[in-house]
Amino acid sequence: MSTLDDWTDALCAELGLDAFADSVGDGWFSTIGMEDRIDWARPHYERGLAGFTRAEAVALIRRHGGWSVPFQSPPEVLTHPQARLYASAFLADGQAQVRLPWRIDNAPQATHSCAIAPPVGAHTREVLAALAAEEVS
């Protein structure tokens, strides 16, 4: 079984990211998933994988012994056989809805409407104004 350093070094070598691999050193785990350095590392990975389809990128990562869990688009989720089987994702009035994928007494549980998050900085002025008001009072 290969170590994290083995598969990431081999992957980066194939993607032409040798300089990136050298800069990471032993800190690989902090550059994947939701770890501390993912925001710094993401542009490197995206540049290296830009010429691949999602399926090709997943195959490449897995060929080197890495983990890959592809994210799905909303249409893919809504049409996925598992989502359809459990009705855990569905459209209602043109809006995506999600719920826990189990039923109690044959009744679906915990329906939630998806919404678009506000863009970064959308509330900056309000937050700064509130902070300034707190400092004055």
pLDDT tens per residue across span 36-88: 888 888 889 889 999 999 889 999 988 988 887 777 777 787 777 777 666 67
Considering the domain architecture, whether residues 26 and 85 belong to the same structural domain is answered as no
pTM: 0.51
Beta partners for residue 97, in sequence order: 90, 113
Considering the domain architecture, whether residues 52 and 90 belong to the same structural domain is answered as no
Considering the domain architecture, whether residues 8 and 54 belong to the same structural domain is answered as yes
Considering the domain architecture, whether residues 80 and 116 belong to the same structural domain is answered as yes
Mean pLDDT of 13-42: 82
Q: Which domain holds residue 92?
A: 72-137
State the pLDDT at residue 1.
39
Which carries the bigger pLDDT value, residue 136 or residue 61?
61
Considering the domain architecture, whether residues 137 and 76 belong to the same structural domain is answered as yes
Considering the domain architecture, whether residues 101 and 41 belong to the same structural domain is answered as no
Place of tokens 């050298």: 22
In the chain, where does DSSP find H-type helix?
A: 4-15, 18-24, 38-49, 54-63, 74-79, 81-86, 124-136
Last residue of a domain, one of 23, 41, 63: 63
**Number of structural domains found in the chain:** 2
Q: How many whole angstroms separate alpha carbon 134 and alpha carbon 137? A: 5
Considering the domain architecture, whether residues 81 and 120 belong to the same structural domain is answered as yes
Per the CB < 8 A criterion, the answer to whether 103 and 85 are in contact is no
Considering the domain architecture, whether residues 76 and 136 belong to the same structural domain is answered as yes
Considering the domain architecture, whether residues 52 and 99 belong to the same structural domain is answered as no
Considering the domain architecture, whether residues 112 and 133 belong to the same structural domain is answered as yes
The proportion of the chain whose per-residue pLDDT surpasses 70, expressed as a percent, equals 77
Check whether 2 has a pLDDT greater than 70: no
Considering the domain architecture, whether residues 90 and 57 belong to the same structural domain is answered as no
pLDDT band at 111 (very low <50, low <70, confident <90, very high): low
